[in-house]
Amino acid sequence: MRTVSMPISDEVFYVLKKDVTNIQFDMMKSLAMQYFKERRLSLGLSAKMAGMTKNDFVEILSRNSIDIYQYTDEELQEEFDLVDRLV
């Protein structure tokens, strides 16, 4: 596992009223949600990156209006075509 570090001013900590651990958790969670939303990471890897279970991560995605079912237009059309054939 690798560690990434970045400077954050004391003012940010003061304004947010959070410590280093809380800021790190928020940043990893936000980054994991963004990578999942962009379809760069799977649900499982995103949850792992955020340090959460899949169920907890799905709940966070829901609270942030990020759909866990990410179909492309083509995939969605294939699903509709399949339903039409079955009906």
What single-letter amino acid sits at 13?
F
Q: From CA 30, how far away is CA 50, in angstroms rounded?
A: 8
Residue-level pLDDT at 79: 87
Give the C-alpha distances (Å, rounded to integers) separating 67 from 19, 34, 48.
30, 12, 18
Residue-level pLDDT at 64: 96
Provide the 3-class DSSP secondary structure of residue 56: helix
The per-residue pLDDT for range 69-81, each reduced to its tens digit, is 877 888 889 989 9
Q: Is residue 3 part of a domain?
A: no
pTM: 0.78
What is the domain count for the chain? 1
Q: Is residue 75 part of a domain?
A: yes
Q: Is residue 45 part of a domain?
A: yes
Q: Is residue 50 part of a domain?
A: yes
Q: Is residue 77 part of a domain?
A: yes
Q: Is residue 4 part of a domain?
A: no
- Section 36-57 average pLDDT: 96
Q: Is residue 68 part of a domain?
A: yes
The per-residue pLDDT for range 7-44, each reduced to its tens digit, is 999 999 999 999 999 999 999 999 999 999 999 999 99
